[in-house]
Amino acid sequence: MSESAVDLPALFRDETTQRLDQMDTALLAVEAGEAGAETVDSLFRNAHTIKGAAGMLGFDDVRAVAHAAEDILSGVREAQVFPPALAGPLLVATAALRAQVTGDGPAVDDVLGELAASRAALLDGDVRPPGAVAAEPSPPEAAEPVQAVPPATGSPPADVPPPAGTRRELRVPAEKIDHLLDVVGEIMQHRRRLTHSLGPERELAPGVAEVLGAGQRMLDDLKGTAVDMRTLPLAAMTGPLPRAVRDFARAAGKDVEFVITGADTELDRVILESLPEPLTHLLRNAVVHGIECPAGRERAGKPGRGRVELRAVPRGPLVEIVVADDGQGVTAEVIEAARREGSLADLLGQPGYSTAPEVSDLAGRGVGLDAVAAYVRSLGGSLDVSSEPGHGMAVTLLLPLALALVEVLLFERGGAVYGVPLPAVEEVVTVTRTLVLQGRPALELRGRSVPVADFAALIGTAAPPLGDRSPALVITVGGRRAAVTCDALLGQEEVVVKPLGPLFGGVDGYLGATILGDGRVALLVEPGILTRGSRQVAATARPMPMPPAPDRAVAARKVLVVEDSFSVRELQRSILETAGYLVVTARDGRDAIETLGQDTGIALVITDLEMPELDGLQLTRTIRADAAWSSLPVIIVTSQGSEEDRRRGIEAGADAYMAKRSFDQQALLLNVERLIGR
């Protein structure tokens, strides 16, 4: 299971830490004599969920401690009384759990001994009644151990602070950070407006200029912090990739080593969220169409095991993401065709290139590359493809590091202001003389010719003819160079990119718009349309049409995973998705009912038993009782593995019942396949 669980431990750690925080708060309330029945329920649920997730992920010590804590809590639930003195040993348990999940906890035997003793004492009715403790309030560390606890437990006190060097982390909804960035952008605009109306800096009183300068420095600092908060390392999305590559390789009969380098490279969250699809696609192409079968590789004098690499490298304001393989590459004929076309990226990135019959044997390398190219362009980046016949291929996505704030060069044409991302601008020249060949104008630039075009003509707008000596931007995108003429340059500025909105969804060529200091709107132009020679209007707004993988040719079946633990939910999702199922998730039974009501395409439900709101048994009964869903298959996956539980699950109408302890993905997939096929 380790293959699919690449970043699951991190996920599990985050989630468990959160649950432990909740447990600690609740236990402190218990100790203070302020706990209600719902406190016990939430404590029990948290301990139970930690146990389940730890069991599935193979963290046996964590599972054991959580299990012991859960035992005590279930005793408390039955006894319907929560002696405050029990909070002490439970806090010891949460501290031990915290030490375990953060990595270097000591052995848990002592803690387990103490918990077992506490439970025994609880069963004997030998803990102090609540009143007794409330009458003589004592600080948590002084909470008297119950009688049966062995004297030398050696375990840390209940309220040990987290190990030194542990960073405090805060979970913040992404929208809040987006909003922060928006506000920062607006302050920057506001400031531009202010400096605009104050006039040139040299005419300001010295005091004013100083205050403005100090404000600018603070604003830059604030902006840097806000942008930082929106970036995440590439590693945040690479988790499922090794498993995906392994599956592609297995299905295609290839032997492939997959390497990820630069996983700590930071990327804008929005880009990161959209990357899995194009990357998975490129990896699939590399494995299926790039890497040769082991025998073929050996014949070619290469090691039988192919190598596919995913590499991320920061490049100033851009980041380079490369998918490279040491497979067969493209043929010399394709290289030759690419030379005529401009570049390999141009050739393979043409819509429908792969369907052209004359290149069918290698068409695979172009499959969906047009969609990847469109994706990269829509983010203001560029695509580069290099290949050497017999020696593999590398596809490079050059993406902006930050999406929300972009450094642009502003220029004017036909009375309107436009911006183009600065990294794409190689230089600015003044047009003094144009050369013409076959009716196509070009500029001479240090001994090379560069095609030149009027910006207005490129984006398809009417504008008065350009004057003499008009400025031209030399744009480079993916190895293509072109000069673009305009009326005037307005200078460079860091601007907030705002989307044009859905009504402009079908219009190709814009990254968005920005609001200038004087309140005018400047359109931000995707550099690619300036080097491609003419505007290409997409037929419709398209959301990355990826061709289906051949092994998933049958319409994928949709599975609803109901589970309150995020780690377990994501684990099941990755197992099912890798096997080719579509997965939707719900956090508890009530959420599941809602999802079922909205999504009629769900073919199977996999549910946990113990969940807040509506539990797995109630959910199963609700499904069975509803005419519309009565034949919907239900699998219960739970940590309660007793015969009695199994019988209750089956009685409620479950089609299969699996214990998390014995959980293995093959068994889960077999059950799913048995019930709905694949």
Partner 1 sequence: MSVHVRVRVAAEAYAVAVEHVLEVVDIGDVTAVPGSRPELLGVRDLRGQILPVVDLALLLGIASTAPPGRLLVAEAHGRQAAFAVDEVNGVGDLAEPAEETESGLLAGAALGDGDLVGVIDMPRVFDALDQVPVP
Select from 451, 458, 466, 427 the least CA-distant residue to 525: 458
According to CB under 8 A, which one of 22, 74, 189, 618 is a site residue for partner 1? 189
Q: Tell me the two tokens of residue 295.
A: 């025998």
- Min CB(184)–partner 1 separation in Å: 12
Residues 90-149 that bind partner 1 (CB under 8 A): none
Question: 């609540």: which residue's tokens?
Answer: 130
- Min CB(409)–partner 1 separation in Å: 18
- Closest CB to partner 1 among 192 and 590? 192
Separation between Cα atoms, residue 625 and residue 405, nearest integer Å? 53
DSSP structure class, residue 84: G
According to CB under 8 A, which one of 103, 163, 317, 506 is a site residue for partner 1? 506
Does 522 engage in binding with partner 1 (CB under 8 A)? yes
Q: How far is CA 137 from the centre of its chain?
A: 48
According to CB under 8 A, which one of 510, 581, 657, 663 is a site residue for partner 1? 510
- Min CB(542)–partner 1 separation in Å: 11
Name the segment binding partner 1 (CB under 8 A); options: 55-63, 144-152, 326-334, 537-545.
Answer: 537-545
Does 197 engage in binding with partner 1 (CB under 8 A)? no
Directed axis angle between helix 276-285 and helix 241-252, to 10°?
Answer: 30
Name the segment binding partner 1 (CB under 8 A); options: 287-295, 315-323, 403-411, 508-516.
Answer: 508-516
- Closest CB to partner 1 among 329 and 512? 512
Q: Give the β-pairing of 480-485 and 448-454.
A: parallel
- Min CB(498)–partner 1 separation in Å: 5
Does 194 engage in binding with partner 1 (CB under 8 A)? no
Does 219 engage in binding with partner 1 (CB under 8 A)? no
Separation between Cα atoms, residue 39 and residue 46, nearest integer Å? 11
Does 25 engage in binding with partner 1 (CB under 8 A)? no
Q: Tell me the two tokens of residue 568.
A: 């377990």
**Contact mark string toward partner 1, 141..180, x via CB under 8 A:** ----------------------------------------
- Min CB(426)–partner 1 separation in Å: 24
Fill in the amino acid letter for 180: L
Q: What is the dihedral of CA 193, 199, 200, 203, to 10 degrees?
A: -140
According to CB under 8 A, which one of 268, 292, 370, 508 is a site residue for partner 1? 508
- How far does the chain reach from its first CA to its final CA, in angstroms? 20
Does 540 engage in binding with partner 1 (CB under 8 A)? yes
Separation between Cα atoms, residue 375 and residue 200, nearest integer Å? 41
Q: Who's near 501: CB < 8 A, 6+ residues apart?
A: none
According to CB under 8 A, which one of 360, 461, 534, 630 is a site residue for partner 1? 461
Q: What residues pair up with 427 in beta bridges, in sequence order?
A: 474
Residues 413-452 that bind partner 1 (CB under 8 A): 416
Q: Tell me the two tokens of residue 256.
A: 């492939």
- Closest CB to partner 1 among 313 and 541? 541
Q: Tell me the two tokens of residue 365.
A: 């390398």
Separation between Cα atoms, residue 645 and residue 445, nearest integer Å? 79
- Min CB(510)–partner 1 separation in Å: 7
> What would the 3-class secondary structure string for 453-490 be?
EEHHHHHCCCCCCCCCCCEEEEEEECCEEEEEECCEEE
According to CB under 8 A, which one of 55, 290, 509, 633 is a site residue for partner 1? 509
- Closest CB to partner 1 among 510 and 566? 510
Name the segment binding partner 1 (CB under 8 A); options: 338-346, 454-462, 545-553, 662-670.
Answer: 454-462
- Closest CB to partner 1 among 495 and 656? 495
Separation between Cα atoms, residue 345 and residue 205, nearest integer Å? 54
Does 460 engage in binding with partner 1 (CB under 8 A)? yes
Separation between Cα atoms, residue 24 and residue 208, nearest integer Å? 52
According to CB under 8 A, which one of 152, 539, 553, 627 is a site residue for partner 1? 539
Can you spell out the DSSP letters for 397-450? EEEES-SSEEEEEEEEETTEEEEEEGGGEEEEEE----EEETTEEEEEETTEEE
Residues 648-677 that bind partner 1 (CB under 8 A): none
According to CB under 8 A, which one of 515, 546, 603, 669 is a site residue for partner 1? 515
Q: Tell me the two tokens of residue 174.
A: 């992404």
Does 631 engage in binding with partner 1 (CB under 8 A)? no
According to CB under 8 A, which one of 141, 186, 210, 264 is a site residue for partner 1? 186
Can you spell out the DSSP letters for 255-287? -EEEEEE-TT-EEEHHHHHHSHHHHHHHHHHII
- Number of neighbouring beta carbons within 10 Å of residue 285: 25
Name the segment binding partner 1 (CB under 8 A); options: 70-78, 283-291, 457-465, 556-564.
Answer: 457-465
- Closest CB to partner 1 among 404 and 556? 404
Does 488 engage in binding with partner 1 (CB under 8 A)? no
According to CB under 8 A, which one of 194, 507, 554, 670 is a site residue for partner 1? 507
Separation between Cα atoms, residue 142 and residue 415, nearest integer Å? 77
- Number of neighbouring beta carbons within 10 Å of residue 119: 22
According to CB under 8 A, which one of 521, 625, 628, 670 is a site residue for partner 1? 521
Does 542 engage in binding with partner 1 (CB under 8 A)? no
Interface with partner 1 (CB under 8 A): 182, 186, 189, 416, 459-461, 498-504, 506-510, 512-513, 515, 519-523, 535, 537-540
